[in-house]
Amino acid sequence: MKLFDEKNFIHQLSIDCVIFGYKAGELKVLIPKILLKKPLYSLPGGFIYVDESIDKAALRILEERTGINDIYLEQYYVFGNENRINNDLLNNLEEFSQQMNQLEFEENGLNWLTNRFVSIGYYALVDINKVNPKMGEMDESVDWYNVKSLPKLIMDHNEMVEKALETLRRNLDEKLIGFNLLPETFTMREVQELYEAIYDKPFARNNFQKKILDLDVLERLEKKFTGAANKAPYLYRFRR
Amino acid sequence: MKLFDEKNFIHQLSIDCVIFGYKAGELKVLIPKILLKKPLYSLPGGFIYVDESIDKAALRILEERTGINDIYLEQYYVFGNENRINNDLLNNLEEFSQQMNQLEFEENGLNWLTNRFVSIGYYALVDINKVNPKMGEMDESVDWYNVKSLPKLIMDHNEMVEKALETLRRNLDEKLIGFNLLPETFTMREVQELYEAIYDKPFARNNFQKKILDLDVLERLEKKFTGAANKAPYLYRFRR
DNA sequence: TCAAAAGTGTTGCGCATACACCCATGG
DNA sequence: CCATGGGTGTATGCGCAACACTTTTGA
């Protein structure tokens, strides 16, 4: 089992990913629950091989921990306080090592996991319908949580989510990345509800439509008849 | 000599600083020249102690390498390509080790310096008049270079400066950090020339004045009589 | 015919830009 | 009194916000 082969990883440097998804008017974050007696919630993260670019490491970690690939992913901040130590892991060393296929934790040179870590924060945007998160080897479950009601995460991971959300808000319009959260085709109402979930505030319907269309990145398709007793909205697709 | 004590530093992780200064209408960057036969220019950088926050490490490195302290400093990007290896150092190993007080390079376990490094980029803004850069132990000289005509730097350091400048431009107004580049008191013309140097484009005089004053962060002081045959400009001071 | 939701148009405000004009200063 | 540079005021255009109105759909 080479899950944490210390020889090949850069020590005391990690990557943690904030994976945003959107569904039913709610901005969500994917949070694995670590397999321990006391439930531990932690951002999906991992380590960087000594000869691996950090971007590729982030993509690999995401793939390994959640099965997600080919998505929008970007570094946003480095968290490097002197006290970034995984105390929850420290307090559960015995249990943790037992669950790793009976290998003794210390004898396998895994002590480095309890050192202080600098972590590069990445945030990702995924179409929640296209994604079927898989559990990592240490995970008990993986679930989407509303960004407004996350569980208590380990270390400073709640703060990492906060900062990721700030970054998402700053970059949403400029980089036109929001459409990564939507399915292939969508209505203008869906775009608006997405924006309202991200910024946690309402937008005026007419002005919003104008603003988005003025971006000149959407292609108007046929109408979508929902069966509801109202005008059928157009479908749009993101182009370019 | 404990200049590079591998025991206490996080390996394969470094910090590099882009130090901006402003003088005579030019935006400048502080670049040390490394003491080797073949001249090597490199951003002032260093390493992080295993129990040290990255922000404090950046401040310490700046102090050690340039004597500068108590300034505006902020992380802006992580450079983590798989090929970030200091080849210039590799090619000069012998010479480098000789100059380190005759200690043999390899025998002192300094090989780790030639590994691949992930580097956290910081940028700093200083009042160029308040600062008297000192040379680091390995430096032959330390000079201010116009950001538009930098020498060829090692590895991806030129790219690091580019990205720092982009970040500076994005943050200049929002974070009101530009005044860190100016002396205690200054005229509106000086502010405008600073902005023109940073953005590398002209601004309209009247509109610029209005915009800056509308920020509501400047205090108008007495007039400054220059002896020139024209109206004396007001002096301003940054408050808050 | 009506309610619900979608689409579109009009107006006003704030901000940045462009143009214009006065003021102070020393030669 | 004049050239030079500093300070300020006014008109214009654009983007965003607020309000109003029309259109489509199925019950």
Residue by residue, pLDDT tens for chain A (240 residues) are 445 555 689 989 999 999 999 998 999 999 999 877 788 999 999 999 999 999 999 999 999 888 888 899 999 999 999 999 988 777 776 666 555 544 455 555 566 777 899 999 999 999 998 888 888 777 889 999 999 999 999 999 999 999 999 999 999 988 889 999 999 999 999 999 999 999 999 999 999 999 999 888 999 988 666 777 778 899 999 986
pLDDT higher at B26 or B3: B26
Please indicate, yes or no, if residue A1 is contained in any of the structural domains: no
Same domain, A39 and A77: yes
Q: Helix, strand, coil % (nearest 5) of chain A?
A: 30, 30, 40
Domain contains A29? yes
Cα-based angle A65, A96, A39 (whole degrees, multiple of 5): 70
| A19 domain residue, yes or no | yes
Q: Are residues A227 and A165 in the same domain?
A: no
Q: Is B35 on the interface with A (CB under 8 A)?
A: no
Which comes out higher in pLDDT, residue A136 or B181? B181
The CATH number covering residue B52 comes to 3.90.79.10
Q: Is residue A49 part of a domain?
A: yes
**Both structure tokens of B81:** 């390509």
pLDDT in tens, B145-179: 999 999 999 999 999 999 999 999 999 988 889 99
Q: Is A101 found in the same domain as A195?
A: no
Q: Would you state the pLDDT for residue B96? A: 61
Cβ of B120 under 8 Å from any chain A Cβ? yes
Same domain, A193 and A211: yes
- B113 plus B87 within the same structural domain: yes
B231 CB inside 7 Å of strand C? yes
Distance from CA of A218 to the nearest CA of B (A): 27
A218 and A143 inside one domain? no
- Do B131 and B227 belong together in one domain? no
Whether residue B174 is found in the same domain as residue B186: no
Indicate if the pLDDT at residue B121 is higher than 90.
yes
Return the higher-pLDDT residue of A227 and B101.
A227
Same domain, B122 and B218: no
Same domain for A208 and A112: no
Residue B81 counted as domain residue: yes
- Residue A3 belongs to some domain of the structure: no
DSSP string covering chain A: --TT-TTTEEEEEEEEEEEEEEETTEEEEEEEEESSSS-EE---EEEEETTS-HHHHHHHHHHHHH---S-EEEEEEEE--TT-B-HHHHTTHHHHHHHTTT--TTTTT-GGGGSB-EEEEEEEE--TTT--PPP-TTEEEEEEEETTSPPPBSTTHHHHHHHHHHHHHHHHHHHT-GGGGS-SEEEHHHHHHHHHHHHTS---HHHHHHHHHHT--EEEEEE---SSSSPPPEEEEE--
What total number of domains does chain B contain?
2
Choosing from A178, A200, A225, the residue where a domain stops is A178
Q: Which of A134, A157, A178 is at the close of a domain?
A: A178
Q: Given this model, what pLDDT does residue A50 score?
A: 93
pLDDT score, position A95: 64
Domain edge (last residue) among A178, A209, A228: A178
Residues B60 and B17 in one domain: yes
Q: Is the distance between the Cβ of B227 and the closest atom of strand C smaller than 7 Å?
A: yes
Number of A/B CB contacts below 8 angstroms equals: 59
Q: How far apart are CA A156 and CA A85, in angstroms?
A: 10
Residue A230, helix vs strand vs coil: coil
Which residue segment(s) compose the domain that A227 sits in? 182-238
Measured between beta carbons, which residues in chain A are less than 8 angstroms from residue B51? Answer: 82, 116
Q: For residue A23, tell me if it sits in a domain.
A: yes
**CATH number of the CATH domain containing A213:** 1.10.10.10
Indicate the pTM of the whole model: 0.92
Kindly state whether residues A210 and A174 are assigned to the same domain.
Answer: no
Query: Do the domain assignments include residue A2?
Result: no
